[in-house]
Structure 1
Amino acid sequence: MTDTIFSARQRLSANMRWMRFIVLALAVFFLYSLAQDGFSGRDNVESMTDHLIVLFFCCLHIVFYIVFDRSKVLEFDAGFLYVKSKNGEEKVALSSIHIIRLSSIRLGYIRLWELVYLDEMNNSKSVSFQPLDRQVFSRFQEMVKIANPVVQINRFRFL
């Protein structure tokens, strides 16, 4: 019975790509407010400062849009990790995962984790993700420990 549970793919990470649309909407709102102020005819220093602040926030939102657009969805089964991105899917053996560590990146209360693994060409790659469920993530860590007994699992960033 346990073989059937682990043979099916399980979602490891939360899908954060939908957040890019919120970021894009906020960037459009900031650009709209910048355009409205530009057409109002105010030409003083306060107006220029306001424009620079709004432009800064627009650039910041564009950076966040790119970050959320590049996010990946991770799934795993008994022997492999599947890294799905907008460009396709990569299949990684659990035995090629070498490091699972807590990332220093934090989005509010959301803590991101980082996996470091070797691809088919023996190049080291990493992927950051937010675990969808603590129990599923613990099960994934146990399966990686079975497949690769020397895996490093760091629950704190300073280790």
Structure 2
Amino acid sequence: MDRIKEKMNSLRIEADEASSKVEELQKQIKVLEQENLQKEHEITSLQHKNQQLETELEKAETKAKELKDAADVGGNQLSQNEALQRRLQLLEDEAEEADKNLRETNDKLRQTDVKAGHFERKVSALEVERDNWEAKFEEMAKKFAAVQKELEDFQAEIGNI
């Protein structure tokens, strides 16, 4: 009988957990449906915007073609166009030259950075070497002082004899 009660309690607990899980999943479904609806609205909005932009593009292309036709008709406009094209060519040449100078300057900067890194490493190595020599010097100075003291003690003993 106790087994049956325990089994029933465990089944109730499982049923409660299952109900909770179902509620959670239903909430998730609602959230996903709302997100889906928002995405659909966004798609519709973007499609409308795309249509408007295509219409504007067609208008702009038509206007550009009309202006180009008008420019072809006018001889004065043609000479201006040629002058502007020459100026554009000059500006492009200057831009290419500036770009070339920029690349060269960047290469030189990279080389300088590499050299600076090399010298920094060299300085670090020399500083370590200097520290080692200073440590050796201090050690030798201590040994010298000890030998000097021994010598003085030895001289004092010899002087006493």
Task: Name the structure with the higher helix share.
Answer: 2
Using structure 1 for the length normalisation, give the TM-score: 0.24
TM-score, structure 2 length as denominator? 0.24
Bigger Rg, structure 1 or 2: 2
Q: Identify which of structures 1 and 2 has the higher relative contact order when contacts are C-alpha pairs closer than 8 Å and 6+ apart.
A: 1
Structure richer in strand, relative to its length: 1
